[in-house]
Structure 1
Amino acid sequence: MQAPPHRHRRSPAASRLAPVPQRRRRGPRRRRRRAGWRRWVLLLLLGSLIWLSRGWWWPSPPPPQMILVLGGDLDRERHAARIAKQLGLPVVVSGGSNPEYAHWLFEQRQGLPPGQVQLDYRANDTLSNFTSLVDDLRRARIRHALLVTSSDHMDRALLVGRIVAGSRGIHLTPEPVGCGALCQPESRRKVWGDGLRAALWVLSGRDLKRWAAERLSLLPVAARQGGSAPDPAGR
């Protein structure tokens, strides 16, 4: 029989002297990631400082050129009609009262000429109050508008308006309408939620909340109910 091959055994001393394999270091990659995050944070801070200091370098807006009224309360339209008569400014009512009442209020009661008032019914919420009109206002070379809405709605409307209209170079000055005992202060969550929707609209050109709702409504009923199709017999 052939003798088994001799296996070389390492002595304890040789084992102690043998180099221990080391794991691959990930330090440089982590450092690069941290440096990338630092750059983004610095850019964000720099952009915020530029935006907050725009009052020093941004061209001052001209005097108000129009009145923008957000529908939802007749007192807003009455207030806008009074200041329109005082200042002689054109009025745009977004999502307001029915045309019969609006024409009576502005033309017959306040005596404004028909061409001074424009009624627009494309909007159905605060965001679309601005997104449906902002490009029309830019084409009309509007750079400064008085914003008329209820005092309890002004924070949200002004935030959304300054994001959407501000993206087109349009300045808004608040003209709040008192609501007295009928005021219903809005939560910060609602205000900042609409502000986020406005920012996403500026970036993407669409209302992502409505876009998602439309896509969800197109899903099959079975998919929305967890995959179980309804029983046609009703059982």
Structure 2
Amino acid sequence: MAGVRAGVLLSAGLLTWLVVRGPLAPYRQALLDTAPPQQVLVLGGDVERERVGARLARQLDKPLLVSGGSNPEYASWLVQEEGLTTDQVQLDYRARDTLSNFTSVVDDLASEGVRHVLVVTSADHLERSLAVGQVVAGSLGIHLTGVPVDCEPTCREESALRRWRDWLRAVAWVVTGRDLRDAADPAPAVR
């Protein structure tokens, strides 16, 4: 019985260390952070996302970052139409997919001291993108709040397999700094 008690105490101590000071501490910070949003991040893939993100950035007076969005000419026109100035908007075209929407910008956000980001994406993409983003951004203590954009009538339900696959890719990226899809490429992923 004493051995069981010692094992439980040791396990509780290890778990406490992991969450308070160890490698899970940034996730604790991201989950418990109550700072107001500091940035609007639009995940490219639909022009309506960019429109909603620009409107939200203007209403909240926050900077807008569009990751993998529409062509620069259209995006620039759109943000001007929504009343934003060019110094309020950053267009980033490094992303190839949902994982790289986050991996390509997360270090920049962290170095700018951003702790809370509003993530704008289509309603049918929100669950998977937040699963991926919370792993990647959470590893640096950045809290994410999802902002769904209506996608009717073209919404398509994403499979659980796709969500799990991308979540595992995000975990692998945090652990190794590499995307599992790029395993054949010897160059490290953007970090």
Query: TM-score, normalised on structure 1?
Result: 0.67
Specify which of 58, 80, 90 is matched with residue 85 of structure 1. 58
Give, in whole Å, the separation in 1 of the partners of 2:154 and 2:31.
38
1:76 and 2:67 are equivalent in the alignment: no
Give, in whole Å, the separation in 2 of the partners of 1:105 and 1:58.
33
Flag the structure with larger Rg: 1
- Cα pair 1:69 1:80 within 8 Å, conserved: yes
Shift of 1:209: 2.0
Gaps of 5+ in 1: 1-37, 216-235
Shift of 1:177: 0.3
Give, in whole Å, the separation in 1 of the partners of 2:32 and 2:123.
28
Give, in whole Å, the separation in 2 of the partners of 1:96 and 1:58.
28
- Cα pair 2:42 2:67 within 8 Å, conserved: yes
The residue number in structure 2 matching 1:170 is 142
% of aligned pairs identical?
56
- Cα pair 2:31 2:143 within 8 Å, conserved: no
Give the counterpart letter for 1:152 in structure 2. Answer: D
Give, in whole Å, the separation in 2 of the partners of 1:104 and 1:203.
39
Shift of 1:210: 1.5
Give the counterpart letter for 1:82 in structure 2. Answer: R
The residue number in structure 2 matching 1:191 is 163
- Cα pair 1:61 1:143 within 8 Å, conserved: no
Shift of 1:208: 2.1
For the aligned residue pairs, the C-alpha RMSD in angstroms reads 2.6
Q: 1:122 to 1:58 in 2, by over 3 A?
A: closer
1:42-76 Cα shifts (integer Å, max 9, x gaps): 58x947x957x948x96523100010000000010
Specify which of 113, 126, 139 is matched with residue 154 of structure 1. 126
- Cα pair 1:151 1:178 within 8 Å, conserved: yes
Specify which of 124, 131, 152 is matched with residue 180 of structure 1. 152
Give, in whole Å, the separation in 2 of the partners of 1:54 and 1:165.
12
Shift of 1:85: 1.4
Give, in whole Å, the separation in 1 of the partners of 2:183 and 2:152.
36
The residue number in structure 2 matching 1:211 is 183
Gaps of 5+ in 2: 1-6, 187-191
1:78-118 Cα shifts (integer Å, max 9, x gaps): 101111111111000000000111111101x1121110000
Structure with the bigger RCO (C-alpha within 8 Å, sep 6+) is: 2
Give the counterpart letter for 2:76 in structure 1. Answer: H
Shift of 1:119: 0.2
Give, in whole Å, the separation in 2 of the partners of 1:61 and 1:136.
21
Query: Aligned with 2:94: secondary structure?
Result: coil
Give the counterpart letter for 2:36 in structure 1. Answer: P
How many correspondences in the alignment? 171
The residue number in structure 2 matching 1:125 is 97
